[in-house]
Structure 1
Amino acid sequence: MIIVPVKEGENIERALKKFKRKFEKTGIMRELRARQAYVKPSVARREQIKKAIYIQKLQQQED
């Protein structure tokens, strides 16, 4: 459960922003989307490798 301490007189918008940030950090929505459909381990591994190659290419271009 996410707890966001709200100080007296603090704007509700700021408290909502804190809550959203904490919620995003937990990764709940990312996990729910991933669980909607089963992905075979071999396919997941292949996607990870493709992502790593892409990131590596970006880093090489930056240098």
Structure 2
Amino acid sequence: MLVIPIKEGENIERALKRFKRKFDRTGARRALQTRKQFDKPSVLRRAQIQKAQYVQGLRDAENI
């Protein structure tokens, strides 16, 4: 559980912004999104290979 101490006289929007930033850094949102739907291991592996090919293509184009 995330705990955000609020200082005396601190604006609630500022505290909410700190909470959102801390929430994003923990990776909880990403974990929730991945657990929302089951993906087969073969689909995940294929996506990983396609991403690697894309990145390699960008690197090759940069070196030309």
Q: Which TM-score bucket, shorter chain as reference? A: 0.7 to 0.9
Q: What TM-score comes out, normalization by structure 1 length?
A: 0.75
What stretches of structure 2 of length at least 5 have no aligned partner? Answer: none
Which structure's CA Rg is the greater one? 2
Q: 1:5 to 1:45 in 2, by over 3 A?
A: same
Q: What TM-score comes out, normalization by structure 2 length?
A: 0.74
Please give the secondary structure, in 2, of the residue aligned with 1:6.
coil
**1:6-45 alignment, distance < 5 Å:** 6-45=6-45
The letter of the residue matching 1:27 is G
CA RMSD of aligned residues (A): 1.8
Number of residue equivalences: 63
Q: Corresponding residue for 1:58?
A: 58
Q: Corresponding residue for 2:5?
A: 5
